[in-house]
């Protein structure tokens, strides 16, 4: 699921990308929770899901799957959005960020890299003892 976990400048770039998408999802979740019009259950569910997505993205846990959830949620929101230019533009922004994180991965500064990242492989030296 994870191809590489680049460090250095590329890793910081991926961290910034994840933070931008995570903060966007957190703010969107807070907005959904504060809305009182329409379906109360659906608004609260969407708000809690968006906050969870934002939190997971900020720490970089299950990044590819969570970004896919953010992308699909963005498509749904975009298809249901009113004809407000600001809503459509902010949703397209979130979709582009989610697509980039899906394609690039979490980077070295994430929990995914800690759990699934590079490992040092120690190959023992061949023994010189004769076979019995």
Band the pLDDT of 6: cuts 50, 70, 90: confident
User: 106, 128, 127: which is closest to 12 by C-alpha?
Assistant: 106
User: 95, 97, 81: which is closest to 20 by C-alpha?
Assistant: 97
Q: Is position 124 within any domain?
A: no
**pLDDT given for residue 51 in this prediction:** 96
The per-residue pLDDT of the chain, averaged, comes to 85
**pTM greater than the 0.85 cutoff:** no
42-90 pLDDT per residue, tens: 888 888 999 999 999 999 999 999 999 999 988 988 887 665 666 788 8
Q: Is position 3 within any domain?
A: no
Q: Is position 81 within any domain?
A: yes
Q: Is position 60 within any domain?
A: yes
Domain that holds residue 108: 14-112
Domain total in the chain: 1
Q: Is position 130 within any domain?
A: no
6 torsion bin: left (phi>0), alpha (psi -120 to 50), beta (else): beta
What is the radius of gyration, based on Cα positions, of the chain?
20
């Amino acid at each position: 699921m994870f191809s590489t976990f680049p460090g250095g400048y590329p890793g910081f770039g991926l961290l910034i990308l994840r933070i931008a998408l995570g903060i966007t999802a957190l703010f969107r979740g807070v907005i959904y929770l504060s809305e009182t019009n329409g379906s109360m259950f659906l608004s609260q569910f969407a708000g809690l899901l968006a906050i969870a997505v934002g939190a997971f993205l900020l720490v970089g846990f299950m990044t590819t799957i969570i970004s896919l959830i953010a992308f699909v949620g963005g498509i749904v929101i975009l298809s249901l959005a009113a004809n407000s230019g600001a809503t459509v533009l902010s949703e397209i922004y979130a979709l582009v960020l989610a697509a980039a994180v899906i394609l690039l991965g979490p980077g070295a500064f994430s929990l995914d890299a800690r759990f699934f990242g590079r490992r040092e492989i120690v190959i023992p030296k061949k023994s010189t003892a004769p076979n019995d």
